[in-house]
Amino acid sequence: MHLLNNKKIAIVGGGPGGLTLARLLQISGADVHVYERDLNKDVRVQGATLDLHDDSGLKALRKAGLMEAFQANYRPGADKLRIMDKHAHIVMDEDERENEPESGEYFRPEIDRGPLRKIMLESLQPGTVIWDSQFVTMSSDGEGWQLVFQNGHTAYADIVIASDGANSKIRPFLTPIRPFYSGVTMVEGVVYDSATVAPTLHQLVNGGKIFAMGDEKTLIFSAKGDGSLVFYTGVKTDEHWYRDNGIDFSDKAQVLAWFKDTYAGWDASWLEIFDQGLPKFIVRPQYCMPLDQQWEAQSNLTMLGDAAHLMPPFAGEGVNMAMLDALELSEWLTSETVSDLRSAIAGYEQQMRTRASAIAKMTMEQTEALHSAGAIDHMVSMFRQSDSPNN
């Protein structure tokens, strides 16, 4: 671990990628802190459940020594998937086989974001995460960086790793390359206590996920362990629709009116999500980094996850890629065969960009297919191929 001897490492962003990296570096004896904008560890973690893949997310957890904790917290059965049409007819039940062994290529267990974060936080040394640290800017300081946070605090680091997501404020210190709009905008919402307030949809989701498609639109549901349903609409819009649509997304009546108009002809049972969802919906235009992006490696700065290779969520690769980034970066930084930090970071970045480019290409193809006239046929065919014994 000679490359990191006497080096202070700052990871900005305490998502799965950043926390995985912190754990892996601490195992190697590195001096690392995570700067997270959340006020504390008890802030509710939003978003749908995560399915971790054997060759990425689960691989990182194994290296981090956290598989036992993971298996005590994941949600068997949450990987059940229903494909439905706009009339709320079930087209296909993709129920992951109950007797599937808890290992291997097709084992993609689901875990809620909150429990995953808790597992990772509890694996770190006390004081590793510095809460209420929203990054503002940084400046060169000798061979390292001086970081400035919104609360007025500052911190020095010899190496900074950007794990601060889609709207990374650190990425511009590495490259001016910006993402392009995918053509699809999502509206995210959540229904708490869905069994009581939205029983029809609660039964349809059946503890797993639903992909409903029709008219070149998607409606995706995911059950969580706390009894809530997270949902996302997916519609082709102008890039700036999120700011120009004139809708107050904190006004449930306006959002419901938009949904009825945009999803005209869809079954009335879908309306439960807007009748019962919290009156705070999040509009998310979906972006993707260029597939051929390049930048010059630095000796004291790099990035992982969405900060490095943002892409739409329709292939389910985002968190898995971030955790694999963390694993690969930790291996490069602690390698005994790499002579200097710039070479280690350059090696990691080349490996990461090559992998991310291939997955981004697949993700953009998937995004287009799910918002096309043949979306249902495409998805049914995809799952039948994955179930084929020759696959």
Q: State the pLDDT at residue 105.
A: 47
Per-residue model confidence as pLDDT tens digits over 256-279: 999 999 999 999 988 888 777 666
- Predicted TM-score (pTM) of the model is 0.91
Distance CA 232, CA 149 (A): 32
Q: What is the mean pLDDT of residues 299-324?
A: 92
Which residues of the chain form beta strands (DSSP E)? 8-12, 31-35, 50-51, 81-85, 90-94, 110-111, 129-130, 135-141, 144-149, 154-157, 159-162, 180-191, 209-214, 217-223, 229-236, 282-288, 301-303
pLDDT band for position 98 (cuts 50, 70, 90): very low
Q: Is the confidence at residue 99, as pLDDT, over 60?
A: no
Distance CA 311, CA 127 (A): 32
Tell me if 306 is assigned to a ligand binding site. yes
Tell me if 42 is assigned to a ligand binding site. no
* Positive or negative: CA dihedral 39, 41, 43, 47: positive
Q: What is the mean pLDDT of residues 34-51?
A: 83
Per-residue model confidence as pLDDT tens digits over 128-141: 999 999 999 999 99
Contact 299, 281 (CB under 8 A): no
What letter represents residue 355's amino acid?
Answer: R
Q: What is the mean pLDDT of the chain?
A: 90
Q: Domain 2-46+113-178+292-368's class?
A: alpha beta
Q: State the pLDDT at residue 390.
A: 47
Per-residue model confidence as pLDDT tens digits over 368-390: 999 999 999 998 888 777 655 44
Per-residue model confidence as pLDDT tens digits over 152-205: 999 999 999 999 999 999 999 999 999 999 999 999 998 888 899 888 888 888
Q: State the pLDDT at residue 18.
A: 97
Asked if CATH classification 3.40.640.10 holds for the domain at 180-288, the reply, yes or no, is no
Domain ranges of the chain: 2-46+113-178+292-368, 180-288
According to DSSP, residue 3 is labeled: G
Q: State the pLDDT at residue 246.
A: 95
Q: Which of 316, 322, 313 is nearest to 356 (CA)?
A: 322
Tell me if 54 is assigned to a ligand binding site. no
Per-residue model confidence as pLDDT tens digits over 328-370: 999 999 999 999 999 999 999 999 999 999 999 999 999 999 9
Tell me if 284 is assigned to a ligand binding site. no
